[in-house]
Amino acid sequence: MVPGIEASPDKMLQGRLFSYTDTHMHRLGTNYLQIPVNCPYRTTVANYQRDGFMTVTDNQTSVPNYFPNSFSGPKDCPSYKEHADHFTGDVQRYNSSDDDNFTQPGDFYRKVLTVEERARLAENIAGHVVDAQDFIQQRAISNFAKMDPALGQAIQAGVNKIKAASKSASRL
């Protein structure tokens, strides 16, 4: 939409805004805005919707497809922030970046998974994170350690084991 002009809080309009986008995604895929007849005129799309059906551009090159990332991915532009409507309080988008994201998965890890499942989980994560750059490995392991310190240690041990095996295999 044009900056400064927003949709009204009318329930019918809000429903249509949702359903039109949802219908486009269902019929044309997540990349429906890349199709020339649908795309905004003379603009570059920079979002996390890519790959998949109806990719018709350069697919945003090799930019990571996850948020947050360490490679200057798209960020929210504060100048396009929607204004707050006043009903019984301020209504605006909710920033969930400071929510507790570790207690619930930590409880799942400790109380639901068996010892064997925990070991497989750590081994699987280590196998995937080992090819990432070192600073990203440490960040990922730190996040898993916040969930449960034992999981962080198990992943770190798995990464070290894979790296050691890779070094010894390269010497042969």
Q: What confidence tens digit (pLDDT) does each residue in 114-129 have?
A: 999 999 999 999 999 9
Q: Tell me: pLDDT of 70 over 90.
A: no
pLDDT tens-digit map of 94-120: 777 778 889 999 999 999 999 999 999
Helix or strand holding residue 152 (H, E): helix 149-171
CA distance 33 to 43: 11
Is the Cα torsion angle 133, 97, 101, 18 positive or negative in sign? negative
Mean pLDDT of 131-138: 94
Mean pLDDT of 36-54: 74
123: nearest Cα among 166, 158, 152: 158
* pTM exceeds 0.75, yes or no: no
Region for 82 from its dihedrals, namely left if φ exceeds 0, alpha if ψ lies in -120 to 50, beta otherwise = beta
Which residues, 6+ apart, have CB-to-CB distance to 57 below 8 Å? 31, 34, 45
pLDDT of residue 3: 66
